[in-house]
Every structure is written in structure tokens, then in C-alpha cells.
Amino acid sequence: MNLLVTGGAGFIGGNFVRLALQSPDWKVGKLVNLDLLTYAGYRGSLADFDGDSRHVFVEGDIGDTSLVSKMLREHQVDAVLNFAAESHVDRSIDTPEPFITTNVLGTQRLLDAVRGYWKELEAGRKERLRFLHVSTDEVYGTLQTGDAAFTELTPYAPNSPYAASKAASDFLVRAAFHTHKMPALTTNCSNNYGPYQFPEKLIPLIIRNAIEGKQLPIYGKGENIRDWLFVEDHCRAIWTVLRGGRLGETYNIGGGAEKMNIDVVDTICALLDELRPDPTGPHARLKTYVTDRPGHDLRYAMDFSKLTRELGWQPSESFESGICRTVKWYLDNAPWCEAVEKRSYGRERLGLAEKAET
């Protein structure tokens, strides 16, 4: 398969690109990686593939219909995977418009380009083409303690500008399937973590701050609950849906690992106490509670039994194994972290000493 991956220099997209090029059983031919390289896209994350002729990197916007159309035809693409998105909730609260531009208008323009290409394909290749849209659990809103987990039939109830923009993009993909019969699929995932995640997110922020002896910011009382999904498990689930999912369907992807934020922070501190002890005392001494985010959803939880039942997918990493791998990766890759922070956003400029996105 020849793939077009949008947002392939970001966290989840970049991990997908890495797995796709390294997994012989995936049988990827050419992989065209389209990324606008905004603050969250870092070309250096994939520098080790610069000499791989299968990896074609293009700096550009999913909203550039002519560019996307050109790439689809030039590289004879068989599947499009849309990871491109503005995804930081705090940023969406401060400035919603970029989220509408990329997540809504950008997705529609991408769909337009793919639909035009798909209509021109000969019968065999037309039947094989797939468009997979990567979305989030945040479109479902929030759960209370004791509520059943989100299923694919849970009504949408987004509570942040980011979540609202992703909900809109999901509906556009749904409309493309039902109106134009485009061969589209959607996945909604829970909170990802793992290597190459940018330092504005909760887990890498806590790791980096703890190593440097800085405060560990925790929203409210740290009681917000998330279902944590190791990024490589997520990428394998996406590949599974791409290859075997029923067209027009949505598949939830979760890690089966609900944790309160405070427990995530305590787990990281305990691992760092073991792996890199601080002579001045336990890392947990750095915990600091900060003003809660406006409209902060209490709990997300994903029921991914449909994906397991239909396609046999299960997460391979527990939270305990995944977080250990993640902490060790950040300890071993300080130069990557420093390069990302210096290149695209300083912690002081983003206020990362005061807030942590979950």
C-alpha cells in the first residue's frame, strides 16, 4: 500500500510513520508524509528515515487542495490517514480559530481532494482506497464516576473548542461516507502517551520538570480521570482498522487503563526516584496544585469491545509497562527534548510552569 499520512511529524502521526516503515508485515510501499510543521510538528523526530526512499516528506497544509491532489496522483496513494489536527485544549480555550481552520475547514478540503482522486480511479483501485480519520474521546463529553464507558453510540457532547472542532470533523467524514459513498473510517482514541510526545502534555511535562527540579503542576485536586493508551498500541489499532474495518464505521480505541492525574504524577515520581534519584529528596515533593482549567472534563473512559470483537485488537502494553518505557525514553533522549523546546516553544512562553494539558 502507498500511504498519505497527514500530520506525520507530530506525536501520534510520527509514531505511526515509524511503525509503518519498520514493520515488515505491514507491507507499506511508499509513505508520503504531509505536515505543516507548526509548533507541534518536528521534522527531527523522523531524521533517521531521511535516507529511506519509501519516506517522502512534504511540508504543506491539508487545506491546500491542489497540493494534496497532486500528491495523491503522483504517488498513486492507496490510503489516506488523517492525523493532522490542532490538539491542545488550553490553546483552544485561548484562541479557538486555528482549531476551526485546521480541524474543520482543513478536514473538509482534504476530503474534497481525496474524493476527486477516488472518483478518477479505475474500478479495482477505487474499491481498495481508504480514508481513515483519527479523532478523540473528547467529542463524547465527560463522564461521572461510575458511568459506563463511552461506546461508538454515545451521543456527542464536546465541552471545549478543541473537542467541538474534532466533533465537527468527525461529522464531515460521516457525511462524506453517507452522501458520496466515500470509503471512510473513523477512530476515536483515549489519551495517548509514549516516546516523542511534546513537552506541553502532562506526562512528558511532569518527567521533564521533575528531572530539572521544577514544580510539577497539577490541575485542581488532580482527580480528573483519563484512560491512558500507549501510542504504539494506538498506531497498531489504526492499522488494524485500516486493513479490516467496515466502511462508514467508527471504532473506539482505549488502553483499558483509567487513572487519576494525581496517580499518574505519583507513578512517574516513583519511577524517577528509582531510575534517577534526586539527592535533595523524593520527586513527589515538587507537586504543585494550580487553578483548574475552565470546563475541565472529569472523566473519560473508552469501551473498545467493538474493535476487539470485530478485528481482534487488544492493547499490548499495560499502563505500568508503558509508563516505564516512556520515562526511560525521556531519560535517554534529553537532546530531542531540548531541541523541540528550543525550536518551537519555550516553556516560559507557553506557561508550562503553570499548566499541564491532559
- Active-site residue numbers? 137-138, 162
- ∠139-310-144 over CA atoms, to 5°? 35
- Which residues lie below 8 Å from residue 51, measured CB to CB, with a gap of 6+? none
| Cell triple for 48 | 533517521
Distances in whole angstroms, Cα of residue 75 to Cα of each of 41, 68, 85, 159, 178: 23, 11, 23, 39, 27
Instruction: Name beta bridge partners: 289.
Output: 218
The backbone torsions φ and ψ at residue 235, rounded to the nearest 5 degrees and listed phi first, read: -60, -40
Burial class from Cβ neighbours inside 10 Å (0-12, 13-18, 19+) for residue 218 reads buried
- Which residues lie below 8 Å from residue 68, measured CB to CB, with a gap of 6+? 4, 34, 60, 62, 109, 110, 113, 114
Element (H, E) at 287: strand 287-290
291: DSSP letter:
P
Beta carbons within 10 angstroms of residue 156's beta carbon:
15
The backbone torsions φ and ψ at residue 306, rounded to the nearest 5 degrees and listed phi first, read: -65, -45
Instruction: Name beta bridge partners: 234.
Output: none
Q: Where do the DSSP E strands lie in 123-224? A: 130-136, 184-189, 191-193, 216-219
Burial class from Cβ neighbours inside 10 Å (0-12, 13-18, 19+) for residue 60 reads middle
Burial class from Cβ neighbours inside 10 Å (0-12, 13-18, 19+) for residue 49 reads middle
Q: 31 near 21, Cβ under 8 Å? A: yes
